[in-house]
Amino acid sequence: MKLHHVLMMLITAVVLAPVHALADTRPVDKVVAAHYPPLMVDGDPDKPGYAVEVLREAANRAGRDIDLQFLPFERAIHAILSEADTLMPALFKGKKRDKDILWLAEVDRTALRFASVSDPVNTLDQARTLPLIVVERGTTSEFFLSELGFTNVQEPRSPQASASMLASKRAHAWLLTEELMRRTWRMMGRETDLIVGDMIHEIPVFMVASLRLPDDTRLAYQTAIADMRADGTLDRISEHYRGDLQ
């Protein structure tokens, strides 16, 4: 009788073990990011970017894990547009394909400004008189100036390329957010002072995903972000990066 009980216990353990293992496995979400400091920072595990930290915390609260991969900006956007279950920590609204993206939750607000290495550029009228402005290809900055009919614009592929053109005076202004421009400028070791003008256009920053993201995944992240906003977590993470403006 005792042997029978032992055998039954062993059989039960073998049958249930995979079930318990499956129940303990957290779903893993694919996440793509582009190097746009301080929102998304490649190569700095201690300070991976405000938006990356927000997404990681949201995933943890939702009982999920993430598989994060940094890509060039255009490839990251392509992944969001073409894949079914992919998220991105941060994206500015105001592009041609906004309708093709799932805008999960607003995580911040920022503003476009012109940066220069000589006189400040504080208005769009001033910017129209400049020989050349740089904005990154496929970004809100590019779409914003295009909609306003600007023709004195060149579109590098990265903030680093824009910064290099401005520093070498091949470009006369750079339109992006102050946070991203100052952090990029400092990370590249530029000695020339970066002069940032007045606010040109306010924009919201969103965590985004593929339109085909499953509803339960969407709801899990939206609920987590709402809770993080209510308990002050978004503000605490943001404050951790505010020193990058200095």
Q: What amino acid occupies position 101?
A: I
239's tokens? 């404050």
CA-to-CA distance for 60 and 62, rounded, in angstroms?
5
CA-to-CA distance for 57 and 53, rounded, in angstroms?
6
pTM of the model: 0.78
| One fold for 2-109+204-245 and 111-203 | yes
Q: What is the pLDDT of residues 47-86, one digit of tens each?
A: 999 999 999 999 999 999 999 999 999 999 999 999 989 9
Region 8-34: mean pLDDT is 67
Structure confidence at residue 22 (pLDDT): 44
Region 198-204: mean pLDDT is 96
Structure confidence at residue 96 (pLDDT): 78
Cα-based distances in Å from 237 to 43, 45, 49, 53: 19, 15, 9, 7
CA-to-CA distance for 39 and 48, rounded, in angstroms?
8
pLDDT tier for residue 2 given thresholds of 50, 70 and 90 = low
Residue 110: beta bridge partners?
Answer: 203
Q: Which fold has domain 111-203?
A: D-Maltodextrin-Binding Protein; domain 2 (3.40.190)
Dump strand ranges (E) for 36-159. 65-70, 86-92, 101-116, 133-134, 153-154
1's tokens? 């009788």
The DSSP 8-state label assigned to residue 93 in this structure reads S
Q: What is the pLDDT of residues 217-231, one digit of tens each?
A: 999 999 999 999 999
Structure confidence at residue 5 (pLDDT): 58
Q: How far apart are the first and last CA of the chain?
A: 77
Domain 2-109+204-245 has CATH 3.40.190.10: yes
Structure confidence at residue 55 (pLDDT): 98
28's tokens? 């893993």
Q: How many CA atoms lie within 13 A of 189 on its CB side?
A: 0
The DSSP 8-state label assigned to residue 119 in this structure reads S
Structure confidence at residue 187 (pLDDT): 86
Structure confidence at residue 9 (pLDDT): 56
Tell me the domain boundaries of the chain. Answer: 2-109+204-245, 111-203
The DSSP 8-state label assigned to residue 98 in this structure reads G
